[in-house]
Amino acid sequence: MAKDVDWSNLGFDYVKTDKRYVSNYKDGKWDDGVITEDDKVVISECAGVLQYAQTVFEGLKAYTTEDGRIVTFRPDLNAERMIDSASRLEMPPFPKERFLDAVKQVVAANREWVPPYGSGATLYIRPYMFGSNPVIGVKPAEEYQFRIFVTPVGPYFKGGAKPITVKISDFDRAAPHGTGHIKAGLNYAMSLHAIVTAHNEGFAENIYLDPATRTKIEETGGANIIFIDGDGNVVIPKSNSILPSITRRSLMVVAEKYLGLKVTQREVLLSEAENGDFKECGLCGTAAVISPVGKIVDHGKEYAFASGMDQMGPTLQKLYDTLTGIQMGRLEAPEGWIYEI
Ligand code: PLP
Ligand code: COI
């Protein structure tokens, strides 16, 4: 029996569900892991995560398909990215097969929380791990906890598919040789002042520029960026300091293989947006799916996209329909993209 939730009116907020997965790392190994009802974490006051922010996370979703199956989308890539993130912060990677099994267990244990097909909501899955033993000198922890909780969510941006206005941030998200390419909590902590500032000024998100020259478009606080040029083809900003979004990597395949579009990944200058070289712009990610951008504001100058402020542009709409069609089982997925629970 599905839970008594008003699925269609969910925002992107935490709802406590019934079960979560926990595994602990001690004496050089991960324990077997359990599903538990206990949503509380008890750690030392001096835990590595509390002192030096040693924590990484992931985000993926479970979907109810048109024919009633529960599936996840490319969780193997989340497992791999979390291994990369952990390695960069000197944390013991949680093995890929264990990650996939844990996702399966926690979704199965919360089956009733998976929003029904067509409700507009999905089950967001949040794996994360953190240093748990006392650390006072600056060094990696020796003990860690890996957890996954799930929470049903609606659209990340209020208004769903309505185009948003974003600003060019005065803050940097990542250092040139820093941690922008991994999913570390620290990247989000340092974006909080920037996002509060943007929201106070009436913007939905920040576009961050490359920190070295501040001339190139990187990504937003929680999503990669995708542009459609004047010929209707896809342009993706290339940078070593953006998160390798699984949604964006999937959209590149969808654009080429399903829609026959040309996809170019290259450095994108802010001046190209200023010159009106792009007709459509969208933010893509697990939470954002594809959220259309109607306008970029750069210190008072407005760069409006031809697609306007009323609806998603035609090419992004096709990408959106195809990607979500694959995720919801309406379209055949490329081999290995869909994991049934
Ligand atoms: N970029 C940032 C900074 C993010 O936090 C996210 C969210 O995961 C993404 C991009 C999108 O990545 P993905 O498509 O793997 O969810
Ligand atoms: C995601 O899309 O999964 C994210 O992590 C973005 C944001 C909610 C942090």
CATH number assigned to the domain comprising residue 205: 3.20.10.10
What is the reported pTM? 0.97
- Kindly state whether residues 118 and 240 are assigned to the same domain: no
Q: Given ligand 1 and candidates 187, 286, 326, which is best to mutate, with the most ligand atoms within 8 Å of its CB? A: 286
- Kindly state whether residues 105 and 126 are assigned to the same domain: yes
Summarize pLDDT for 284-321 with one digit per residue, the tens.
999 999 999 999 999 999 999 999 999 999 999 999 99
Ligand that lies nearest to the alpha carbon of residue 153, given by its number in the listed order: 2
- Ligand 1 atom closest to 224 (CA): 10
- Kindly state whether residues 319 and 176 are assigned to the same domain: yes
- Kindly state whether residues 98 and 200 are assigned to the same domain: no
- Kindly state whether residues 44 and 97 are assigned to the same domain: yes
C-alpha span between 90 and 93 (Å, rounded): 9
Distance in Å, CA 245 to ligand 2 centroid: 10
Choose one of 153, 172, 194: the last residue of a domain. Answer: 153
Q: Which residues are catalytic?
A: 183
CA angle, corner 201, sides to 56 and 164, nearest 5?
70
Q: How far from the centroid of its chain's Cα atoms is residue 223's Cα? A: 6
- Kindly state whether residues 192 and 291 are assigned to the same domain: yes
Check residue 158 and give its pLDDT.
Answer: 82
Assess if residue 257 is contained within a domain: yes
Ligand that lies nearest to the alpha carbon of residue 77, given by its number in the listed order: 1
| Mean pLDDT over the full length of the chain | 97
- Ligand 2 within 6 A of CB of 243: no
Distance in Å, CA 57 to ligand 1 centroid: 11
- Kindly state whether residues 81 and 225 are assigned to the same domain: no
Assess if residue 317 is contained within a domain: yes
Burial of 177 (C-beta count, 10 Å sphere; 0-12/13-18/19+): exposed
Question: For ligand 1, atom 10, which residue shows the shortest CA distance?
Answer: 223
- Ligand 1 atom closest to 250 (CA): 14
- Kindly state whether residues 149 and 221 are assigned to the same domain: no
Residue count of the chain: 341
- Kindly state whether residues 111 and 173 are assigned to the same domain: no
Pocket of ligand 1 (CB under 6 A): 59, 219, 222-224, 243, 245-248, 285-286
Tally of domains in the chain = 2
Quote the domain boundaries for residue 53.
7-153
Q: Given ligand 1 and candidates 219, 247, 248, 319, which is best to mutate, with the most ligand atoms within 8 Å of its CB? A: 247
Summarize pLDDT for 241-294 with one digit per residue, the tens.
999 999 999 999 999 999 999 999 999 999 999 999 999 999 999 999 999 999
Assess if residue 229 is contained within a domain: yes
- Kindly state whether residues 180 and 217 are assigned to the same domain: yes
Q: Given ligand 1 and candidates 243, 254, 284, 324, which is best to mutate, with the most ligand atoms within 8 Å of its CB? A: 243
Mean pLDDT of 66-72: 97
Assess whether pLDDT exceeds 90 at residue 160.
Answer: no
Residue appearing with tokens 């200023």: 274
Distance in Å, CA 289 to ligand 1 centroid: 10
Assess whether pLDDT exceeds 80 at residue 159.
Answer: no
- Ligand 1 atom closest to 78 (CA): 15
- Ligand 2 atom closest to 126 (CA): 3
Closest CA to 143 of 20, 57, 47: 47
- Kindly state whether residues 170 and 116 are assigned to the same domain: no
Choose one of 121, 153, 185: the last residue of a domain. Answer: 153
- Kindly state whether residues 89 and 114 are assigned to the same domain: yes
Check residue 288 and give its pLDDT.
Answer: 94
Distance in Å, CA 231 to ligand 2 centroid: 30
- Ligand 2 atom closest to 247 (CA): 2
